Amino acid sequence: MSLEHTIYGSPVFQQACRQFDLAADILEMEPGLRDRTKQPRRCVVVTLPVRLDSGKIESFEGYRVQHNLSTGPAKGGIRFHQDVTLGEVAALAMWMSWKCSLVGLPFGGAKGGVVVNARDMSPQELERLSRRYIQEIAPFIGPQVDIPAPDVGTNEQVMAWMMDTYSNHVGHYDPGIITGKPIALGGSLGRREATGEGVAWFTKAYLADLGIKAADTTVVIQGFGNVGGETALALESWGAKIIGISDFTGGITNPKGINVREALDYSAKNRSLQGCTGGDPVNNAELLELPCTVLIPAALERVITRENAPRLRCRLLAEAANGPTTNEADKIIAERGDIELIPDVLCNSGGVIVSYFEWLQNLQNYYWSKQEVFEKLHRQLAQAKTAVDEAQARHQCSRRTAALVLGIARVADAKAKRGLFP
Ligand code: NAD
């Protein structure tokens, strides 16, 4: 069945499907199992009427796509963004399935989204929207069914409101419903840093394979939110020079190195990097083509394209964002042969790994130190890197396809062994 023309049909969903097909070809998956593994299991579309501060009522559209529930409860973030589509959420849910499987977590994959520009909302409006979204999807989620988390446009405070809403719905405190919560509400130490810490860990590991040292490393990062900011801090403290950063307003570049802490403080105070004096202004298109050792897209999908892929001037492309590279750009990068790519499902897996730790701590009501969290995280990242490097050598394919082969094979195997009901 061609999924490209279903309700999920969109460029980003097609991108995820093409990536899947390359891996499924290597696995020689028979058509029945192939379709069953690829298709999202189910989706919910909800209308969210919210009373604005003006008294006016505005309705927003929200989604939750559960791609795979065969290997455990589904897991995946919730995105608040004006350009969210059902197809995008489905693609992100699919990638969550392969990512959880690749790094050995007992989860399936899911993702949620609301079509809204949350930046334009007051905190009170944002709270009402967050609560209404969880209330509407409450019959479809649960600590043993589907466990959401933060993504673009959502944060710890949003997770707190969502956890509170769900807990009121079931009648008792239930922190295992969502991860990425504040520490006071059962959040895990290290979760806030986890995705960036993982991106930095893989960057350092692949630079070591290339024989490149911290002092010789320059870094450009697109997206200066949770993931971009934490990645910048981790790589700066390792000794690399962060020479370019950006957000939705554009960015700055400074060949002498940007002071990351100052830029973060500026961004928190002004709600964007616009006007930040830590470097020369640069737009997002120019930023991606700056000469650097490591280029880290940490914002949205499909920013590395057929147009700019030939012009990239990095040695390592570390995909902190999900889906930043189009299929065409993947091909160009492979043909160029001078750029090592760390694929999203591997590169940003630190976030969901520590989300898993948070869920475990919630279920056990027993909380770990940050050191324990990071030790376990690093061990799991190292195992995943070794497995992907071995699979790449075995199948003589790109690192992305090798990672997907591992992730997809485990999900398909679980489905085949569970059998088909009825
Ligand atoms: P965030 O909302 O905290 O930050 C997003 C950043 O991207 C902001 O700085 C925003 O201004 C910027 N941005 C938005 N549109 C842009 C554009 N057109 N050009 C340049 N910058 C733009 O989100 P986040 O949680 O940091 O997520 C970033 C990426 O990382 C997403 O792809 C997300 O799916 C992925 N990811 C996040 C996590 C997590 O734990 N939060 C885990 C794994 C993967």
Mean pLDDT of the chain: 97
Q: Which of 187, 176, 102 is nearest to 373 (CA)?
A: 187
CA terminus-to-terminus distance, the chain: 21
Task: Among 79, 116, 227, say which to mutate for ligand 1: greatest number of ligand atoms within 8 Å of CB.
Answer: 227
Task: Among 12, 117, 224, 226, say which to mutate for ligand 1: greatest number of ligand atoms within 8 Å of CB.
Answer: 226
Residues at CB less than 6 angstroms from ligand 1: 150-153, 195, 222-228, 246-248, 284, 298-300, 320-322, 348, 351
Q: Ligand 1, closest atom to CA 180? A: 40
Distance 408 CA to ligand 1 centre (A): 25
User: CA 67: distance to chain centroid?
Assistant: 15
User: Does residue 1 carry a pLDDT above 70?
Assistant: no
What's the rounded Cα separation, in Å, for the pair 210 and 29? 34
User: Does residue 4 carry a pLDDT above 70?
Assistant: no
Catalytic, out of 111, 181, 204, 385: 111
Beta-sheet pairing, 316-318 with 340-342: parallel
Tens-digit pLDDT profile for residues 23-58: 999 999 999 999 999 999 999 999 999 999 999 999
What's the rounded Cα separation, in Å, for the pair 422 and 224? 48
Tens-digit pLDDT profile for residues 197-244: 999 999 999 999 999 999 999 999 999 999 999 999 999 999 999 999
Task: Among 89, 92, 151, say which to mutate for ligand 1: greatest number of ligand atoms within 8 Å of CB.
Answer: 151
Instruction: Yes or no: say if 196 and 320 are a contact pair by the CB < 8 Å rule.
Output: yes
What's the rounded Cα separation, in Å, for the pair 53 and 121? 9
pLDDT mean over 254-275: 97
Distance 7 CA to ligand 1 centre (A): 25
What's the rounded Cα separation, in Å, for the pair 193 and 350? 9
pLDDT mean over 119-135: 97
Instruction: Yes or no: say if 257 and 351 are a contact pair by the CB < 8 Å rule.
Output: no
Distance 226 CA to ligand 1 centre (A): 7
Confidence of residue 384 (pLDDT cuts 50, 70, 90): very high
What's the rounded Cα separation, in Å, for the pair 177 and 207? 37
Instruction: Yes or no: say if 304 and 312 are a contact pair by the CB < 8 Å rule.
Output: yes
What's the rounded Cα separation, in Å, for the pair 123 and 175? 22
- Region for residue 269 given its phi and psi (left: phi exceeds 0; alpha: psi -120 to 50; beta: otherwise): alpha
- CA 305 → CA 222, 227, 282, 330, 385, distances in Å? 15, 21, 19, 8, 26
Confidence of residue 280 (pLDDT cuts 50, 70, 90): very high
Q: What is the CA radius of gyration of the chain?
A: 20
Confidence of residue 5 (pLDDT cuts 50, 70, 90): confident
What pLDDT was estimated at residue 206? 98
Confidence of residue 253 (pLDDT cuts 50, 70, 90): very high
DSSP H/E element including 219: strand 218-222
Give the sheet arrangement for strand 42-51, strand by strand. 42-51, 57-68, 109-115, 74-81, 146-150
Q: Give the bridge partners for 78, in sequence order.
A: 112, 150
**Among this protein's residues, is 256 annotated catalytic?**
no
> Can you read off the two tokens belonging to residue 306?
């057929």
Distance 227 CA to ligand 1 centre (A): 6
What DSSP letter does each residue of 275-331 carry, written as one string?
T--SSEEE-HHHHHTS--SEEEE-S-SS-B-TTTGGG---SEEE--SSS-B-HHHHH
Tens-digit pLDDT profile for residues 77-124: 999 999 999 999 999 999 999 999 999 999 999 999 999 999 999 999
User: Does residue 275 carry a pLDDT above 90?
Assistant: yes
Closest residue to atom 14 of ligand 1, CA basis: 248
